[in-house]
Amino acid sequence: MTEAIIRALPCWQGKVEIAPLGGGLTNLNFVVQDGTGKYVARLGQDIPEHHVMRFNELAASRAAHAAGLSPGVVYAGDGITVIEFIEATTFGETDVRAPGALERIVPLIRSCHHEVPKHLRGPALIFWVFHVIRDYAATLRAGDSAHVGLLPDLLKIGEELEQAAGPFDMVFGHNDLLAANILDDGTRLWLIDWDYAGFNTPLFDLGGLASNNGLTQTQETQLLELYFEAPVTDDLLHRYGAMKCASLLRETMWSMVSEITSPLDIDFAAYTAENLMRFQAAYQTYKAQ
């Protein structure tokens, strides 16, 4: 059924070959070869419980392509987007931590923050992690999640982190800096998957990159110095530490919600446990500072 939907799209020329592409946590992805080249077909409807709205993803994808960060969109329809296929290696966490990697990744993040909004058209969303945390808690309660007992403490910590992370600058964030959303074609890096894109503080992307990929404290200092092009102050470290914890808390609660809402065949319970451990470790380190 899914392949039939893809084959029926009007953007193809010549013979069409379709193969599944793994790795997506909110979409079904396929590599499509037609008479003109390779493409990626992404299938996914709005996911309101995760604040994923496809009109926003499409606008961000087009803006990111115009800014030179992301492959171009060649077709967009109801619940499906087709983008150019990039012959590249998908990053893993070890690639993000590798020597010299941050010097390549930070300019990509900075371009996202400051160049993409210059090309953005139409309505735009804000991605405020502390609102997302509160909304996730409501969804978990309504869905009678097994994690409801954790919510009072998690919400209290979320409020603490929101107070500690300010004052806030505003940029256009990618907001999902998992290693798999960075591609290396051997010459340059690409940034893909704009499901959660929206205006945000830069510290969320920086904290998310660090927490999602296990950066060391030395690498985190390097990350901040590269991004802000200045020595790291104690105030910046404190605000960054709070936002890093908030990023991990959001990822943990994202997985908790996915346990009760996602139709995809993914072990979200294991993903929840992994991220809960990461969050607890980061929060303990933050409190000890």
Q: Are residues 56 and 175 in contact, defined by beta-carbon separation less than 8 angstroms?
A: no
* Domain residue spans of the chain: 2-84, 89-288
Architecture of the domain spanning 2-84:
2-Layer Sandwich (3.30)
b/e map 106-143, b = 16+ CB within 10 Å? bebbbebbebbbebbeeeebebbbbebbebbbebbeeb
Question: pTM for this one?
Answer: 0.94
Tell me the pLDDT tens digit for each residue of 50-107. 999 999 999 999 999 999 999 999 999 999 999 999 999 999 999 999 999 999 999 9
Beta bridge partners of residue 171, listed in sequence order: 200
Residue 22 confidence class, pLDDT cut points 50, 70, 90? confident
Q: 2-84 and 89-288: same fold?
A: no
Give residue for tokens 């991004």: 227
Tell me the pLDDT tens digit for each residue of 91-121. 999 999 999 999 999 999 999 999 999 999 9
b/e map 269-284, b = 16+ CB within 10 Å? eebbeebbebbeebbe
Query: What topology does CATH give the domain 89-288?
Result: Aminoglycoside 3'-phosphotransferase; Chain: A, domain 2 (3.90.1200)
Helices within the chain (DSSP H only): 2-7, 54-66, 93-97, 101-114, 116-119, 129-142, 151-165, 202-213, 217-228, 234-261, 268-288
Tell me the pLDDT tens digit for each residue of 155-206. 999 999 999 999 999 999 999 999 999 999 999 999 999 999 999 999 999 9
